[in-house]
Chains A and B, each alone.
Chain A
Amino acid sequence: MIASFHAELLKLARRPATWLIAGVWMTLSLMFGYVFPYFSYRGTPTGPSTGADLGERVLSEALPAALVPAAIQGFPLFAGALALLLGVLTTGGEYGWDTMKVLLTLGPRRLSVLAGKLLALTLVMLLVVLATFVLDSAASLLVASVTGNPVAWPPIGPLITGVAGGWLVVAMWCLAGAFLGILVRGTALGVGIGLVWALAVENLLRIFGSIVAVVDVVQRVLPGTNAGALAAALGVPVQGQPGGTPGVTDVVGGRSAALALVAYLAIFVAASAALISRRDIA
C-alpha cells in the first residue's frame, strides 16, 4: 500500500487538474470569505454601502477571530463539489485511459492499489484545507490591518477542530467522487451525477424538507445536509439567516453530523473496495 500511495502522490502532484482545482478552491474561498465581505463593508464605486450595522457584521466575519467559519464556509458546497470532482477524476481517469489494467498487474493487490489512491486523496484534501487556512489567515490579517481592527486569532482548540471538521467534510465528498469514478468506470458521468447530487438534489430536498415531513427525515441523513450541519456547528452562519451561507444548515447537531460523515466515508471506502475487488477489468 505504501508503494501505491507514493505512486499516487506523484500522479496527483504532477496532474494539472489537481492544481487547477486547488487554485479555483482558494480563489473562491478568498472571494467569498474576504473580498466580497470587505467590499460589502466599504461599499464600492459601483454599488452602495450595505449600511453601517450590516457592514460591521459582515466585516467581523472576515477578521482573524472568525478564521474558522470563514475558511470552511464554502466546504459544504463549492469546495465539496471541487473535492468530488478531484475524486472522480482520480479514479475514473484510470478507466478512461485504461491505466487501471496496468496498475492491477504491477504487483500490489487490488485493495492496496485502492487504499493508496484513497489515502493519497485524503492527504491532498488535508493539504488543501491547511493551505486554505493559511491563505485565509493572511487575508484576514490584511483585512484587519486595512480596516484598523485589532488582530485576535481564534484559540488553538477551535482552530484544530475547524481544520479537522473541514477536512472531514471535503474528504467525504472526495471519496464520494472516487466511488462514483469506480462505479461508472469513467469521469464524465461520475462528475455529472456527483455535481447534480451535491449542488442541486440535496438543496431541492432541503427546500421540500421544510414542507413534507418524510422528506425532512430523509434529508437529515444525506451527506450534504450533514456536511452543512458540521459547518454550522463550527460557526458558519446558517442558510436562510441574514448573511447565511448556502448549503449550511442546523437541522442536525454537530456531533451527529460528524458521525454521519465518518459513516459515509466508511461506506464509500467499502463500496469502492467491493467494486474494485470483484469486478473484471475488461
Chain B
Amino acid sequence: MLLVETTNLTKRYGPRAVVDHVGLQVRRGEVYGFLGPNGAGKTTTLRLLLGLVRPSSGTARVLGAAPGAPAALARIGMLVEAPAFYPYLSGRDNLRVFARYASVPDAKVEEVLETVDLADRAKDRASSYSLGMKQRLGVAAALLKNPELLIVDEPTNGLDPAGMAEMRAMLRRLGTGGHTVLLSSHLLGEVQQVCDRVGVINEGKLLRQGTVDELRGHGGLRVAAEPLHQARRVAERLFGAERVRVHDGTLRLDVDDAQAPRINHELVCAGVAVRSMGWHQPSLEDLFFELTTRRNGGPS
C-alpha cells in the first residue's frame, strides 16, 4: 500500500521548476531514501508533501489525503531541515507546547524524551543544547504523535560520527517497528545503509526509483584494453552494441562473468592488449554520479 504517492508534482518559482513532474511512491513499512545533491529539490518536495508549500501543478496523496489535511498531519511526524524550537523554553516545555498543538497527552512527552535519551537534560533551555541534542529533540518532537509516516530531512547534518550512527540506527529501528520513514539525504552511504528503496532526484526531476539493488543493476564485466576502439568493435561483434559501453576509459560489458575467458580470448586474437578484466558491481555512488553528472551535462 502506498502511503505517499505523487503524480507530476511540480513547484515553480517564477520560470524555474524546483520540483519538476515528480512521481514519488513510498510504500507502507519501508524506509525510503530520497537522494539528491544539495539544491536538487528534496526539501521542497518534502514541504509539498507536508502542505507547507503548495504545488504549481500535479497532485500528491499522503496517507490517503491531500497534503496538509489535518487528518493526515495527525499521523505524520516531521523533521525538515534544521530542528526548530523556542530557545527560551526547556526541551521538555518545547515538547509540551508541540504536544498541546497536536492534542497529545503530556505523558507522551516523557516517553519520547526517554526514547531519544534526553530525559536528563529535559529541563535545560533548548538554546543551551548541542547540535546533536537539538537533532534528537527534533526527532522526539517528530515522534510525539506516534506517527505512521516519519518525514526526515538530512537528519544527520552536523552530527559527529557517533551521533550519525546513533541517528541511523534509530531510523532503521523505526522502519522495522511499523513506521514508514521517508528520509531525504545527500549522503549516499547513509541512504545505502538505512533505506529499503531509493529515489534519486536532481534539478527537480526524479531520475530513478527502486530498491538499492534494482538501481545498482546486476553488474557487468569491466575491461581495460588498448586500443579501446578496437576492443569495443570486438565486444560489439560478440554481444551486440546495446550491451557494450565505454565509461572512464574502460569497456563496460553487460554480460555474465562466465563470458570473461571468451572475451579475453577474442580480444587477444584481434591483437588487443588486455590490461585488466574484472567483475564490476556499480555502487549507489556510481549510479548517483552517473545520473546526476549526466543531467548536469557531465560525461556519460
Binding site for B on A (CB under 8 A): 3-4, 6-7, 10-11, 14-17, 93, 97-99, 101-109, 113, 280-282
Contacts across chains A and B counted by CB atoms under 8 Å: 84
Complex contact A15–B73 (CB within 8 A):
no
Residues in B neighbouring A107, C-beta threshold 8 A: 70, 73-74, 101-103, 145
Q: With A and B bound together, what is the CA distance between A108 and B44 in angstroms?
A: 21
Q: Establish whether residues A15 and B102, one from each chain, have CB atoms under 8 Å apart when the complex forms.
A: no
- The 6 lowest CB-CB distance pairs between A and B, nearest first, are A7-B100, A98-B84, A281-B52, A106-B101, A280-B53, A106-B102
| Cβ of A61 to closest chain B Cβ, rounded Å | 38
Interface flags for B64-103 (1: CB within 8 Å of A; 0: not) read 0000101001101010111011111100010011101111
Does chain A have a CB within 8 A of B182?
no
> Are B101 and A280 in contact, with the CB atoms below 8 A?
no
Report Cα–Cα, A98/B134, bound state, in Å: 14
The answer to whether B52 and A105 have CB atoms under 8 Å apart is yes
Given the known A-B contacts A98-B82, A101-B80, are A3 and B52 also in contact in the complex, defined by CB atoms under 8 Å? no
User: With A and B bound together, what is the CA distance between A103 and B99 in angstroms?
Assistant: 10
Give chain B residues whose Cβ lies under 8 Å from the Cβ of A97: 84-87
A180 to chain B, nearest CB (A): 20
Instruction: Give Cα A104–Cα B74 distance, bound, in whole angstroms.
Output: 11
Which of chain A's residues has its CB closest to B98's CB?
A106
Q: Is the CB of A99 within 8 A of B85?
A: yes
**A-B residue pairs in contact (CB < 8 Å), sample of 10:** A11-B97, A15-B88, A97-B86, A98-B81, A102-B98, A102-B141, A105-B52, A106-B73, A106-B101, A106-B102
* B73: A residues at CB distance < 8 A: 105-107
How many angstroms between the C-alpha atoms of A281 and B165 in the bound complex? Answer: 31
| Interface membership of B179, Cβ < 8 A | no
Contact B54 A280, beta carbon cutoff 8 Å: yes
Q: A98-B82, A105-B73, A107-B70 are in contact. Are A7 and B97 (CB under 8 A)?
A: yes
The answer to whether the Cβ of B35 comes within 8 Å of any Cβ in the partner chain is no
Alpha-carbon gap, A16 to B125, bound state (A): 13
Most buried by A among B81, B87, B103: B103
Q: Which of B89, B97, B103, B141 has the most CB of A within 10 A?
A: B97
B100 touches A3 (CB 8 A): yes
- B63, chain A: closest CB distance, angstroms: 12
Max chain B C-beta neighbours (<10 A), residue from A17, A102, A105: A105
Question: Does B84 contact A113, Cβ atoms closer than 8 Å?
Answer: no
From A10, A16, A99, B100 is in contact (CB under 8 Å) with A10
Contacts of B80 in A (CB 8 A): 101, 105
Please state if B53 and A282 are interface contacts (CB–CB under 8 Å): yes
With CB as the reference atom, state the residue of chain B lying closest to A280. Answer: B53
Complex interface: chain B residues within 8 A of A98 (CB): 81-82, 84
Chain A residues contacting B145 (CB-CB under 8 Å) are: 106-107
Closest to A278 in B: B54
B51 close to chain A: CB less than 8 A: yes
Q: How far is the CA of A108 from the CA of B93 in the complex (A)?
A: 19
Interfacial chain B residues near A14, Cβ < 8 Å: 88-89, 93
* CB proximity of B218 to chain A, nearest CB, Å: 40
- Closest approach, in angstroms, between the C-beta of B126 and any C-beta of chain A? 10
Point out the residues of chain B lying under 8 angstroms from A16, CB to CB. 88
The listed residue (B52, B54, B93, B103) touching A101 by CB distance below 8 A is: B52
Q: Please give me the residue from chain A that is nearest to B97 by CB atom.
A: A7
**CB-defined contacts of B89 to chain A, threshold 8 Å:** 11, 14
Complex CA gap A200/B57 in Å reads 46
Tell me, in angstroms, the Cα distance from A280 to B52 when the chains sit together.
6
Whether B96 lies near A3 (C-beta < 8 A) is no
Interface centre among B51, B54, B100 (most CB of A within 10 A): B100
Closest CB-CB distance, B97 to chain A, in whole Å?
A: 5
Which residues of chain A have C-beta atoms less than 8 A from B50's C-beta?
101, 104-105
Closest residue of chain B to A104, judged by CB? B52
Using CB atoms, name the residue of chain A closest to B82: A98
In angstroms, Cα B47 to Cα A101, docked, is 9
**Bound state CA distance, A17 and B86, in angstroms?**
13
Contact string against A for B residues 34-54, beta-carbon threshold 8 Å, 1 for contact and 0 otherwise: 000000000010010011111
A97 to B94, CA, bound (A): 12
Shortest Cβ distance from residue B142 to the other chain A in the assembled complex, whole angstroms:
9
A280–B51 alpha-carbon span in the complex (Å):
9
B78 in complex: contacting residue of A6, A10, A11, A105, CB < 8 Å: A105
Find chain A residues with CB under 8 A from B86 CB. 11, 15, 93, 97, 99
Which residue on B lies nearest to A2, using beta carbons?
Answer: B103
Q: Which of B224-280 contact A (CB under 8 A)?
A: none
Distance, CA A109 to CA B234, complexed state (A)? 66
Note all chain A residues with C-beta closer than 8 A to B84: 97-99, 101-102
Given A107-B73, A109-B70, residue A3 in contact with residue B103 (CB < 8 A): yes
List residues of chain A with CB within 8 A of the CB of B51. 104-105
- How far does the alpha carbon of A108 sit from the alpha carbon of B68 in the complex, in Å? 9
Which B residues lie within 8 Å of A281 (CB)? 47, 52-53
Residue of A14, A17, A109, A113 with most chain B CB atoms under a 10 A cut-off: A14
Q: Report how far A154 CA is from B81 CA in the complex, Å.
A: 57
CB distance from B37 to the nearest CB of A (A): 19
Q: Known: A99-B85, A280-B54. Is A108-B70 also a contact (CB below 8 A)? A: yes
